[in-house]
Amino acid sequence: MLFSLIFISKGTDFLLPLSMGVAELMQDGSMSSCIKRADEALYEAKDSGRNAVRFAVSQF
């Protein structure tokens, strides 16, 4: 498990898992392609069972 955020409200703990997709903005790439790769990595993290980080592979 990567980590989770814990919120406490009115004496009740709420566990909020976190999944992230990370992509590097390439020097000759566009912001939209970077966001698309990060989004794809996010869905890979969620598909792997959630609460994970996946990095987009840069294509040179």
Domain membership flag for residue 60: no
pLDDT at 12: 87
Q: Yes or no: say if 38 and 22 are a contact pair by the CB < 8 Å rule.
A: yes
- Residue 19 CA to residue 10 CA, distance in Å, equals 26
Give residue 48's Cα distance to chain centre.
12
- Residues 46, 50, 54: CA angle, nearest 5 degrees: 60
pLDDT at 39: 97
Q: Give the chain's domain count.
A: 1
Domain membership flag for residue 8: yes
pLDDT along the chain (60 residues), means of 10: 72 84 91 95 90 82
The tokens describing 16, both together, are: 């909020």
Q: Which domain holds residue 25?
A: 4-55
Q: Yes or no: say if 24 and 34 are a contact pair by the CB < 8 Å rule.
A: yes
